[in-house]
């Protein structure tokens, strides 16, 4: 069985809008297909490849979608897929990586000439200001969960959901602002949770690690040192 995996980088797109595009891509694909969001939420690439292999896919083509598509992701994604191949061993299906869609001149021409509705914009004073965007929120703890592509690959969206559930279970969710972010940069140490105002950076790889952050860092005001990878303000230069 042949299969496509559409790879979509869309940090600021709502789940509803992403699903609309994903459904259209899957419907138009010439073979069995899955659309994957690379940041923020949803299943990661390795899990999707596992599922397709279990369904009997023998040839899987990864197809990046975006105008333009990130050059960084274009370089990294084949390596991430190659890591999955290595773990699967000889039973793995064949994997291919397609060139980005913007290299199709016809697609770019159609995008440039697309006949889509347009609405006239009228003058509006302070139009850039939004309702309720005036004051910082009243939380004691800020928890930044990296959900960039490389942490997403390592199940960051699931761990973010676990973090919120554990905060509720501990009765401290009202004191904590949990925000999923784009790339926080120490990708090889991910998934990463950053705890402010303390400025502590933790590597969390499973549910037990998340619980340790909640019970120790939030509940007890202590540092789970086995998870600590950095403190904000620490120098990276040798002393």
Per-residue pLDDT tens digits for 155-183? 999 999 999 999 999 999 999 999 999 99
Indicate the pLDDT class of residue 133, thresholds 50, 70 and 90: confident
What CA–CA distance (Å, rounded) separates 139 from 135? 12
- Please compute, for residue 117, the number of CA atoms within 13 A of its CA located in the half-sphere on the CB side: 1
Which residue(s) pair with 62 in the sheet? 5, 97
State the chain's mean pLDDT as an integer: 94
pLDDT of 238? 47
CB 184 within 8 A of CB 192: yes
Q: Which pLDDT score, from 0 to 100, does residue 237 have?
A: 52
Is the pLDDT at 235 greater than 80? The verdict is no
Whole-prediction pTM: 0.89
* Distance, CA of 174 to CA of 167 (rounded, Å): 9
Q: How far is it, in rounded angstroms, from Cα 19 to Cα 35?
A: 9
Q: What is the arithmetic mean of pLDDT over 119-138?
A: 91
Q: What pLDDT does residue 116 have?
A: 93
């Amino acid at each position: 069985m042949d299969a496509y995996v559409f790879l979509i980088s869309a940090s600021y797109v709502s789940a509803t809008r992403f699903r609309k595009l994903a459904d259209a891509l899957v419907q138009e694909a010439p073979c069995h297909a899955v659309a994957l969001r690379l940041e923020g939420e949803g299943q990661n690439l390795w899990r999707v490849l596992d599922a397709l292999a279990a369904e009997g896919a023998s040839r899987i083509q990864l197809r990046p979608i975006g105008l333009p598509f990130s050059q960084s992701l274009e370089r990294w994604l084949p390596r991430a897929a190659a890591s999955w191949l290595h773990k699967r061993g000889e039973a793995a299906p064949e994997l291919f990586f397609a060139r980005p869609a913007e290299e199709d001149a016809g697609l770019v021409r159609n995008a440039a000439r697309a006949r889509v509705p347009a609405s006239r914009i009228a003058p509006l004073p302070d139009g850039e200001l939004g309702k309720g965007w005036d004051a910082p929120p009243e939380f004691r703890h800020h928890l930044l969960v990296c959900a960039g592509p490389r942490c997403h690959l390592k199940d960051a969206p699931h761990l973010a959901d676990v973090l919120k559930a554990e905060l509720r279970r501990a009765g401290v969710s009202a004191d904590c602002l949990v925000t999923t972010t784009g790339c926080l940069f120490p990708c090889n140490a991910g998934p990463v949770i950053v705890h402010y105002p303390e400025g502590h950076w933790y590597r969390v790889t499973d549910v037990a690690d998340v619980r340790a952050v909640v019970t120790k860092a939030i509940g007890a005001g202590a540092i789970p040192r086995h998870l600590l990878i950095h403190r904000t303000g620490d120098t990276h230069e040798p002393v």
